[in-house]
């Protein structure tokens, strides 16, 4: 999928569903007791709920802030997470996110790691859209999102321009 079609898909989905699963002040209530250093956002998987976009970040960690996060199920039982992440740090860097799906009993049914900007650094104050599709997931009832970490990436597309 090209970057343009991914952004178009995100824009279409975002027009349907906006909002965070939790505000930053509520994130502490959702910590995994076994992993208190890794706060997570949680959301019920929906298809038709519209929530206003928050005025403050939902979760902030590693120099990045989740501006909004939703989980949706389409008519074919495909589950996707989508949202926006902002670089709130002072340097350009990449970010890795982890999305997990749980069933109604709280058991993990799927986990995915992804980097929203792929091989590009996100500039300070830049907001970047993200989406991750789990495919068909009939038993999934809840989604979680975690900021795994930040990293510097080489701009591999412009490496030739730096050689004499």
- Which fold does the domain 3-162 belong to in CATH? Immunoglobulin-like (2.60.40)
- Structural domain boundaries of the chain? 3-162
**Total Cβ atoms within 10 A of residue 62:** 15
Residues 6+ apart with CB under 8 A from 43: 21, 69, 70, 71, 81, 142, 143, 144, 145
Q: What is the pLDDT of residues 99-131, one digit of tens each?
A: 999 999 999 999 999 999 887 899 999 999 999
Specify the pTM.
0.68
pLDDT digits (tens, 9 = 90+) for 32-83: 334 445 577 676 766 544 444 556 777 899 999 999 889 999 989 999 999 9
Q: Is the pLDDT of residue 18 over 70?
A: no
Which one has a higher pLDDT value, 25 or 41? 41
């Amino acid at each position: 999928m090209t970057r343009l079609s991914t952004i178009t898909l995100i824009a279409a989905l975002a027009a349907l569903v906006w909002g965070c699963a939790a505000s930053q002040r509520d994130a502490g209530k959702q910590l995994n007791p076994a992993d208190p250093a890794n706060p997570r956002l949680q959301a019920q998987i929906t298809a038709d709920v519209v929530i206003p976009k928050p005025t403050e970040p939902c979760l902030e960690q590693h120099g990045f802030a989740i501006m909004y996060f939703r989980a949706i199920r389409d008519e074919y039982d495909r589950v996707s997470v989508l949202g926006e992440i902002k670089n709130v740090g002072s340097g350009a860097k990449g970010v890795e996110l982890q999305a997990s799906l749980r069933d109604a009993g709280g058991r993990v049914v799927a986990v995915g790691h992804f980097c929203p900007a792929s091989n590009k650094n996100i500039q300070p104050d830049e907001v970047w859209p993200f989406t991750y599709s789990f495919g068909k997931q009939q038993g999934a009832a809840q989604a979680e999102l975690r900021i795994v970490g930040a990293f510097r990436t080489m701009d591999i597309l412009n490496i030739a321009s730096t050689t004499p």
